[in-house]
Amino acid sequence: MSDQNGTALRVALAYHRAWTGGRFDEAMTYVADDVVCDAPAGRIDGAAAYREFMGPFAGMLISAELLAGYGDEEHAVVVYDTVTTLVAGGPAAEWVTVRDGRIAYSRFIFDRLPFEQARSAARSAHSDVHSAHPSTGGQ
Amino acid sequence: MSDQNGTALRVALAYHRAWTGGRFDEAMTYVADDVVCDAPAGRIDGAAAYREFMGPFAGMLISAELLAGYGDEEHAVVVYDTVTTLVAGGPAAEWVTVRDGRIAYSRFIFDRLPFEQARSAARSAHSDVHSAHPSTGGQ
C-alpha cells in the first residue's frame, strides 16, 4: 500500500474503512449529495441512489482486504478484495474524484458475473423448493 | 492522472501503452516469464498463459483511455476504459507488482458480464444462421 496522503486518498480511505467496518452511515458522510458513480450496471446519480447501490453490498460483506490505495489532492484509487455472503472473492477498484472532502465522482469496477451466478443459483434453489413444496407459495 | 514515476508505474504504463497501441509483442516484454495473474476467471500462471488470456482481448481493442496511473517502486495501479469489437465500454483496473523491470504479479479487475452477454448473443445469432441454413455446417 502507498503511504501517500493526498486529500482525495484520505477521503477515499476514510470512506473505505467506514463501509468495510460496518459503519455504512458514516461512510455515506464522505459521499457528495450529487455524487455520480459509473458502476458496471450503469450510471448512478445522487447519494440516495448510491446508498441503494452500495448499502446492500455493504450489508452482505463478511470481510474486506485493502490491496492498494493511491492518490493526490483530487483523485484516488483504492483496490480491495471482498468476501461476501454471496461470493467468496470479489475484488473491486474505485477511482474517485474528491471535491470539498467528499466523493463527487466514482468509477466503480468489479466483476458482476459471480454475483449474477450466485443470485441465479439462489433463485433456482428457491424455485426448486417451491416446486417440491408448492404449498409454500411464491414471494 | 498522477505524475508519479516509480519504477513499477513506469513499467505498468509502458506495458499499457504498448498493448493498447497495437504492439502486443512489445507489451509482453514487460511481463515476467513466471508472471502470476489473478483474473476474474481465475489464476493465470506464466507468460504463455497470460498471452493466451490477454492477446485476444488486445486483438479486439478499438480504443483505450487511461484514466489513472499511480505507483511506487514495487507496485502500480492503472485504471482505464476500453472499447472493443465486443463491448462498447469495458473499464478495467490492474494492480501490479513489478520485479526486475517486469510485471511479476497482476490483480486484474473487470466486469466479465457484458463480454459474456455479447458472446452469448453472438452464439445465438450464429446458431440462428445455422438453423436457417443447415447446409453451411458447424464450426
pLDDT at A42 over 50: yes
Is residue A89 within 8 Å of residue A105, measured between CB atoms? no
Check residue B6 and give its pLDDT. 80
Condensed to tens digits (0 to 9), the pLDDT of residues B11-38 reads 999 999 999 999 999 999 999 999 999 9
Residue among A69, A12, A105, A7 at smallest CA distance from B76: A69
Check residue A44 and give its pLDDT. 98
Q: What is the 3-state secondary structure (H, E, C) of chain B?
A: CCCCCCHHHHHHHHHHHHHHCCCHHHHHCCEEEEEEEEECCEEEECHHHHHHHHHHHHHCEEEEEEEEEEECCCEEEEEEEEEECCCCCCCEEEEEEEECCEEEEEEEEECCHHHHHHHHHHHHHHHHHHHHCHHHCCC
Check residue A122 and give its pLDDT. 87
Which triple of cell numbers denotes residue B40?
476474474
Tell me how far apart the alpha carbons of residues B59 and B63 are, in angstroms, rounded to a whole number: 11
Taking an 8 Å cut-off on Cβ atoms, the answer to whether B107 and A95 are in contact is no
Beta sheet of A31-39, edge-to-edge order: A42-45, A31-39, A102-110, A92-99, A75-84, A61-71
Taking an 8 Å cut-off on Cβ atoms, the answer to whether B77 and A68 are in contact is yes
pLDDT at B100 over 50: yes
Check residue A131 and give its pLDDT. 54
Percent of chain B clearing pLDDT 70 (strictly above): 88
| Interface mutation vs chain A, best among B95, B119, B120, most A CBs within 10 Å | B95
Q: A136 falls in which pLDDT band (50, 70, 90)?
A: very low
Q: What is the ipTM of this complex?
A: 0.86
Residue B7: φ, ψ to 5°? -55, -45
Condensed to tens digits (0 to 9), the pLDDT of residues B33-61 reads 999 999 999 999 999 999 999 999 999 99
Taking an 8 Å cut-off on Cβ atoms, the answer to whether A38 and B71 are in contact is no
Residue A38 touches partner B, C-beta closer than 8 Å: yes
What's the burial of A90, exposed, middle or buried (CB within 10 Å: 0-12/13-18/19+)?
A: buried
Condensed to tens digits (0 to 9), the pLDDT of residues A9-24 reads 999 999 999 999 999 9
pLDDT at B2 over 90: no
Pairing of strands B42-45, A75-84: unpaired
Taking an 8 Å cut-off on Cβ atoms, the answer to whether A93 and B72 are in contact is no
Out of B75, B109, B113, closest to residue A91 by CB = B109
| Other CB atoms within 10 Å distance of the CB of residue A54 | 21
pLDDT at A5 over 70: no
Average pLDDT, chain A: 90
Check residue B137 and give its pLDDT. 41
Residue A111 touches partner B, C-beta closer than 8 Å: yes
Q: Which residue of A has its CA nearest to B113?
A: A113
Condensed to tens digits (0 to 9), the pLDDT of residues B59-94 reads 999 999 999 999 999 999 999 999 999 999 999 999
Condensed to tens digits (0 to 9), the pLDDT of residues A92-134 reads 999 999 999 999 999 999 999 999 999 999 888 877 665 554 4
The mean pLDDT of A24-35, rounded to a whole number, is: 98
Residue A80 touches partner B, C-beta closer than 8 Å: no
Check residue B130 and give its pLDDT. 57
Q: What is the 3-state secondary structure (H, E, C) of B4-26?
A: CCCHHHHHHHHHHHHHHCCCHHH
Q: Which residue of B has its CA nearest to A78?
A: B77
Number of DSSP helices (H) and strands (E) in chain A, helices first: 4, 6
Condensed to tens digits (0 to 9), the pLDDT of residues A67-100 reads 999 999 999 999 999 999 999 999 999 999 999 9
pTM: 0.88
Question: Which residues between 115 and 134 in chain B have a beta carbon less than 8 angstroms from any beta carbon of chain A?
Answer: 116
| Interface mutation vs chain A, best among B75, B77, B106, most A CBs within 10 Å | B77
CA distance B9 to chain A (A): 12
Q: How many CB pairs under 8 A join A and B?
A: 72
CA distance B91 to chain A (A): 7
Residue A37 touches partner B, C-beta closer than 8 Å: no
| Interface mutation vs chain B, best among A7, A65, A66, A79, most B CBs within 10 Å | A79
Spatial CB neighbours of A26, under 8 Å, sequence gap ≥ 6: A18
Check residue B64 and give its pLDDT. 98
Residue among B65, B10, B84 at smallest CA distance from A107: B65
Q: A138 falls in which pLDDT band (50, 70, 90)?
A: very low
